[in-house]
Structure 1
Amino acid sequence: MDEEEVATQGELAITRTGDRLRLAREAAGLSLADVATRTRITQRHLAALEKSDFSELPGRTYVTGFARAYARAVDLPEAEIGASVRQELEDDDYGARPAYEAYEPTDPARLPTPRLVWTVVIVAALLASAYGVWRFLSVEPDEALIAAQNRDADASEAPAAAPSVEKAAAPNGANVAPDAPVVLTGLSEVWIGFDDAEGKTENWRTLDPGETYEVPPAYIEQFTLRTSIPQALKVTVGGRDVGAIGPADTLVKGVSLKPADLLTRSGGSASGDAAGTQRRPG
């Protein structure tokens, strides 16, 4: 067997996008930790990408984005990698479909009793309800939920009222140092993203329970924050808790990371925080 045939067989053995990402990383002499630093994606999610084990990622909605970010970090064509991942997702969905089986007519005497049928229906309804609650409380929403939350967030924006709110809250945060550290802490596993001026999410990461992340100064100036589980994220400015950044289990986006802007969301002082607590229904 000549060298050309060996090379051809080696190329055919790489059948998944994850293999391409891993080989590119190894060729560049990078570890998973190096790629995690470049992409702000956790190592366990990068390892899942390399294995093409998409079920280990926080949500199928973000698989393509994670893969494109990985591709940029190892100098692979991100558009091509994104297309390959989408195709693999479609292939996995097709392979998971049940095969059609033809059944012969059943003897009526062997049909289940009405009581058994109703029992099965009730159990199925309970399981469906439990699954719906689990999906609602899961770390990452699916595409349909994200679309609905985006529509709700856009509809709830009130540009005309924003200037008066900012004007009233500005004095409370006026004495905040412009370089005060902004720290994000995960109260439970929570996904966060940073959007550019056009609303496009350029960077992602997942915070584990108790994990802290100090937002770089460049991010504070260039990006805004989004998250799908506001109650799972604690935001502090110079060690001061700014309180909830949005209603529970609701996608929030466009949250300014500037210290003064964050403090104006809760009044920027202890008295402001107390007033915010009173406004929340008991």
Structure 2
Amino acid sequence: MADEEVAEQGELAITRTGDRLRLAREAAGLSLADIATRTRITQRHLDAIEKSDFSGLPGRTYVTGFARAYARAVDLPEAEIGAAVRRELEEDEYVARPAYEAYEPTDPARLPTARLTWTLVIITALLASAYGVWRFLSVEPDEALIAAQNADADASEAPAADATSAQSATAGAAGTAQVAQDAPVVLTGLSEVWIGFDDATGKTENWRTLDPGEVYQVPPAYIEQFTLRTSIPQALKVTVGGRDVGAIGPADTLVKGVSLKPADLIARAEGSSGGAPAAPAPKR
């Protein structure tokens, strides 16, 4: 009986999703480095998820996506883990809200002066403006936003592809003749940037973030099987065989379907390929 009570108390002590992920990893005999290799997520982000320290992660969508990827790596139900993380994020936001302290409006001693009132109004307006600017510049990928952007991009792909396919096939041949098929493809973060790799059906199988100055060489298997997507193309530098291919899309837009094959990237650099269509990211 005592052993059952101890086991029950141990289960109750595991109240955070990060604990479930950590215990599943340990039960599988895996290290954080093993999980990082499987998910392509940095160890510091994985450590933050295990500790439920979401303040160290870029945003809500990153937290949910990273947790789901972690769950897949340790054979936990990713939908259940994602829902649990979202609940914890909402709970943390609720606890962080300042408590409302009521006061008697009829008490003259506690009524704010006109000067104080105007000061508070001005401060509130400045904070709201600063927050709006931050949200606009952050361009954080949101699941609903990405779905809407993908729908817009899919709708515009067919006519763009038909109009440029013939020109790309002819003009790209001369520019790519000198490109080695095994030339290394390297991605470098100019600022913190989210990137994803889509399979042939358009599903994002792998994603990660690059810190400013971080360099990531795309594995050969990714070059053959996946295409690149990102929502902040101006924050990402793409080189093939040491050659900068230039911008892969307009600033602050979702670009997807970017071929990672050396010949296609060189053709893009020489202006012979129209590239993947981009869906404008709405201001946030």
- TM-score if structure 2 supplies the norm length? 0.82
Residues of 2 paired with 1:160 and 1:180: CA distance?
29
Q: Identical aligned pairs, as a percentage?
A: 84
Residues of 1 paired with 2:106 and 2:161: CA distance?
64
After superposition, the Cα gap between the structure-2 partners of 1:221 and 1:106, relative to the gap in structure 1 and judged at 3 Å, is: farther
Residue 19 (structure 1) aligns with = 19
For structure 1, the 5+ residue unaligned runs are 273-282
Residue 159 (structure 1) aligns with = 161
Residues of 1 paired with 2:62 and 2:258: CA distance?
20
- TM-score if structure 1 supplies the norm length? 0.83
After superposition, the Cα gap between the structure-2 partners of 1:129 and 1:154, relative to the gap in structure 1 and judged at 3 Å, is: farther
Residue 183 (structure 2) aligns with = 180
Residues of 1 paired with 2:136 and 2:143: CA distance?
12
Residue 282 (structure 2) aligns with = none
Q: After the TM superposition, which parts of structure 1 deviate over 6 Å for at least 4 consecutive aligned residues?
A: none
Residue 265 (structure 2) aligns with = 262
Conserved 8 A contact 2:139-2:252: no
| Paired letter, 1:170 | G
| Paired letter, 1:161 | A
Residues of 1 paired with 2:141 and 2:90: CA distance?
19
CA shift digits 1:29-52 (9 cap, x unpaired): 222111111110001110111011
Is 1:7 aligned to 2:12, yes or no? Answer: no
User: What secondary structure does 1:251 align onto?
Assistant: strand
| Paired letter, 1:2 | A
Residues of 1 paired with 2:35 and 2:44: CA distance?
11
Tell which deviates more after alignment, 178-187 or 140-149. 140-149
Please show how residues 45-124 of structure 1 align to structure 2 within 5 Å.
Answer: 45-97=45-97, 99=99, 101-107=101-107, 110-113=111-114, 116-124=116-124
Residue 192 (structure 1) aligns with = 195
Conserved 8 A contact 1:185-1:234: yes
Is 1:229 aligned to 2:266, yes or no? Answer: no
How many residues matched? 269
For structure 2, the 5+ residue unaligned runs are 274-284
Residues of 2 paired with 1:81 and 1:103: CA distance?
42
Residues of 1 paired with 2:167 and 2:107: CA distance?
72
CA RMSD in angstroms, aligned pairs only: 2.8
Tell which deviates more after alignment, 167-176 or 68-77. 167-176
Conserved 8 A contact 1:169-1:267: no
Residue 128 (structure 2) aligns with = 128
Residues of 2 paired with 1:154 and 1:59: CA distance?
26
Query: 1:253 is matched with which residue: 252, 256, 260?
Result: 256
